[in-house]
Amino acid sequence: MGSMTKIEPLGAVRERVTADLRQEIIAGSLRPGDRLVERELAERFGVSRVPVREAIRALVAEGFVHFETPRRTVVRRLTPNDVKELFELREALEVYAAGLAASRATSQDLAEVQELLDRAAAATEAGDAELITDLNSRLHDRIVAMAANSLLTEALEPVAGRLRWMTRRNEEWPQLLVEHRELYEAIASGDPDRARAHALTHVRTNYRSTVRHLFGAEAFEEETFGEEAP
């Protein structure tokens, strides 16, 4: 008797298509303004149009794509205000997370971050953009995890993909590595004030770099971001 073909549940197909499309947007394979056509995507992924339609709806909710018209869906074009709003949220949450991490990190936590930094250094030396982006995102995720606050983690989760999408354009990798090492040392010191100060500087520096790479230097006005932060 021949083996039966395993049928992948619809929910699993939807999640797979959503994850693949999200990664293509983050990596730049799908660029702002590119159209998402259900029929073409269904053929490319070898699935029906139903999970593709649901995946597109999920990516609309996540802020990666939007409906230009009821029948035309495209990858979202980021605006300076999109970046500003996300970095304001990042500043509020990640700076707080760094302070908690300094108080709560274990030796195992710190060893794991150090390993990520070592791998990021090697990737930076090799100029491996995809690996650098992945490791930098994992480093920030690890710092949030060290804060040991599940509500904080949940608050950042919905925007994590969009932040990665934006910061993927920032290719000032050696500078990022320096900033991440300084942030690690501040957290490892166990001083919450020092950790928060370094996290604040890092977020604001990354904001300026991201805006410059996305829109050009003329689009950035420093006084529009972070002036009221402590």
- pLDDT tens digits along 141-192: 999 999 999 999 999 988 888 888 888 777 789 999 999 999 999 999 999 9
pLDDT at 24: 94
**Judgement on whether residues 148 and 100 belong to the same structural domain of the protein:** yes
> Does the structure show a pLDDT above 50 at 89?
yes
pLDDT above 70 (res 4):
no
- Same-domain status, 68 and 90: no
Question: CATH no. for residue 85?
Answer: 1.20.120.530
Read off the pLDDT of residues 44-54 as tens digits, 9 standing for 90 and up. Answer: 999 999 999 99
Residue after which a domain boundary falls, among 24, 54, 75? 75
Within 8 A by CB and 6+ apart from 48, the residues are 42
Q: pLDDT tens digits for 58-86?
A: 999 999 999 998 889 999 998 999 999 99
CATH code, domain with 46: 1.10.10.10
Q: Which of 8-17, 89-98, 114-123 has the lowest mean pLDDT?
A: 8-17
- Matching residue, tokens 């230097």: 217
Which pLDDT score, from 0 to 100, does residue 53 have?
Answer: 95
CB contact at 8 A, 107 and 113? no
Please check the confidence at residue 3 and state whether its pLDDT lies above 60: no
List the domain range (segments joined by +) for residue 85. 80-215
**196 within some domain:** yes
Q: What is the pLDDT of residues 188-230, one digit of tens each?
A: 999 999 999 999 999 999 999 888 888 886 665 554 556 544 4
Beta bridge partners of 73: 36, 67
| Beta-carbon count within 10 A of 79 CB | 12
Note whether 55 and 91 are same-domain residues: no
Q: Could you tell me the two tokens for 57?
A: 């709806």
Q: What pLDDT score was predicted for residue 5?
A: 53
Q: In the chain, how many domains are there?
A: 2
Residue 36 burial by CB count (10 A; 0-12/13-18/19+): exposed, middle or buried?
Answer: buried
